């Protein structure tokens, strides 16, 4: 049996495949709902911060000295990252749940190309959303805090908020790409969202139950906690910014590689 070697044919332009994926995401109403969910949660988080500042104002000086900081990176962004993660998951799991993955792959038979195009689109949307929501919530927090001192004010100077915003935008991006990779592997929205929820919300909360020394070691490598470490912000966690960036990169690469492998190897 002879099979001709693959001829060098003019392939699809990666730019066009990315444009097609952007069109798919844009014309998916659930994506807009999730994005609106992230926006709504930003407002909810800011309301919580407002109440936190209110109770700070009524607290005694001793209580004020040990007050938790009114930091949107803690109160707002982990949940926003979870929402944007869901968006990353849906970018591929919806194709499996509706079966539209078949026509998609008939149009773009090279599966890694398809996943790469989705990666570009999800990365852009997630990073832009991360910058937007982190920026807005920190700006709002700055305005609400006014000239209140630390510890309730996490930033001695307003410019100190910028690295934190960048750090949370970065973790939002990573959350969404990990979700995309897992979605390509698991093919189920429910399973992917459950894993992302565990990674971004459940495990970070449960980690507090561990003994202190172990807690710090575990918590330091959890995605939401990597945001302040990337920013080099003052925190109890253990990693330096370059190591934190390396850990986040590892999450992304491992999840996307697993997704690419799962998508390439299994029948559709």
Partner 1 sequence: MIDVRELTKRYGSTLALDGLSFQARPGRVTGFLGPNGAGKSTTLRVIVGLHRPTSGVALVNGRRYADIGRPLHEVGALLDAGAVHPGRTAYDQLACLARGHRIGSSRITTLLEHVGLGAVAHQRVGGFSLGMRQRLGIAAALLGDPGIVLLDEPVNGLDAEGIRWVRDLMGTLASQGRTVLLSSHVMSEMALIADHVVIIGRGRLIAETSMEELAGRFRRDTLVRSPRQGELAAILRGAGASVACEPQGGLAVTGADPATIGDLAARHHIPIHELTPRGATLEDVYLDMTDQAADHRAGGASR
Strand spans (E) along the chain: none
Q: Cβ 43 to partner 1, closest distance in Å?
A: 25
DSSP string, 107-150: HS--HHHHHHHHHHHHHHHHHHHHHHHHHHHHHHHHHHHTTPPT
Q: Which of residues 109-148 bind partner 1 (CB under 8 A)?
A: 109-110
Q: Which of 61, 106, 147, 212 binds partner 1 (CB under 8 A)?
A: 106
Q: Which residues contact 190 (CB under 8 A, 6 or more apart)?
A: none
Q: Which of 43, 107, 254, 257 binds partner 1 (CB under 8 A)?
A: 107
- The tokens for 25 are 């995401």
d(CA 122, CA 255): 14
DSSP string, 167-193: HHHHHHHHHHHHHHHHHHHH--HHHHH
Q: Which of residues 29-58 bind partner 1 (CB under 8 A)?
A: 29-30
- For residue 37, the Cα-to-chain-centroid distance in whole angstroms is 14
d(CA 50, CA 203): 27
Q: Cβ 263 to partner 1, closest distance in Å?
A: 12
Nearest to 237 by CA among 254, 224, 250: 224
Q: Which of 47, 50, 51, 102 binds partner 1 (CB under 8 A)?
A: 102
- Of 28 and 139, nearer to partner 1 (C-beta) is 28
Residues that bind partner 1 (rule: CB under 8 A) add up to a total of 36
x-or-dash pattern for partner 1, window 190-229, by CB under 8 A?
----------------------------------------
Q: Which of 24, 52, 118, 187 binds partner 1 (CB under 8 A)?
A: 24
Q: Which of 69, 104, 229, 252 binds partner 1 (CB under 8 A)?
A: 104
- The tokens for 63 are 């209580």
The window from 3-11, 60-68, 79-87, 226-234 that contacts partner 1 (CB under 8 A) reads 3-11
- Of 23 and 47, nearer to partner 1 (C-beta) is 23
- The tokens for 244 are 């934190």
- The tokens for 38 are 């992230």
d(CA 217, CA 229): 13
Residue 92 as a binder of partner 1 (CB under 8 A): the answer is no
- Of 54 and 99, nearer to partner 1 (C-beta) is 99
- Of 20 and 216, nearer to partner 1 (C-beta) is 20
- Of 12 and 48, nearer to partner 1 (C-beta) is 12
Contact residues for partner 1, defined by CB under 8 A: 1, 3-4, 6-7, 9-13, 16-17, 19-20, 23-24, 27-30, 94, 98-110, 267-268
């Amino acid at each position: 049996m002879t099979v001709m070697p693959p001829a060098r044919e003019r392939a699809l332009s990666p730019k066009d495949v990315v444009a097609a994926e952007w069109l798919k995401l844009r014309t998916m109403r659930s994506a807009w709902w999730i994005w609106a969910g992230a926006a709504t949660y930003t407002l909810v988080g800011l309301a919580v911060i407002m109440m936190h500042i209110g109770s700070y104002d009524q607290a005694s000086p001793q209580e004020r000295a040990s007050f938790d900081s009114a930091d949107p990176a803690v109160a707002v962004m982990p949940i926003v990252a979870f929402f944007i993660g869901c968006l990353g998951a849906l970018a591929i799991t919806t194709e499996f749940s509706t079966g539209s993955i078949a026509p998609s792959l008939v149009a773009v038979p090279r599966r890694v190309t398809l996943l790469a195009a989705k990666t570009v689109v999800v990365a852009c949307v997630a990073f832009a959303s991360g910058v937007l929501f982190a920026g807005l919530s920190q700006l709002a927090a700055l305005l609400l805090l006014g000239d209140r001192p630390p510890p309730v004010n996490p930033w001695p100077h307003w410019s100190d908020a910028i690295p934190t915003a960048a750090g949370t935008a970065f973790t939002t991006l990573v959350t969404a790409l990990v979700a995309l990779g897992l979605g390509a592997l698991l093919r189920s929205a429910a399973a992917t969202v459950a894993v992302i929820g565990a990674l971004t919300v459940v495990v970070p909360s449960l980690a507090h139950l561990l003994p202190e020394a172990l807690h710090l070691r575990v918590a330091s490598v959890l995605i939401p906690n990597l945001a302040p470490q990337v920013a080099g912000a003052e925190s109890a966690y253990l990693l330096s910014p370059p190591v934190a960036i390396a850990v986040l990169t590892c999450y992304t690469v491992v999840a996307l590689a697993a997704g690419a492998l799962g998508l390439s190897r299994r029948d559709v």
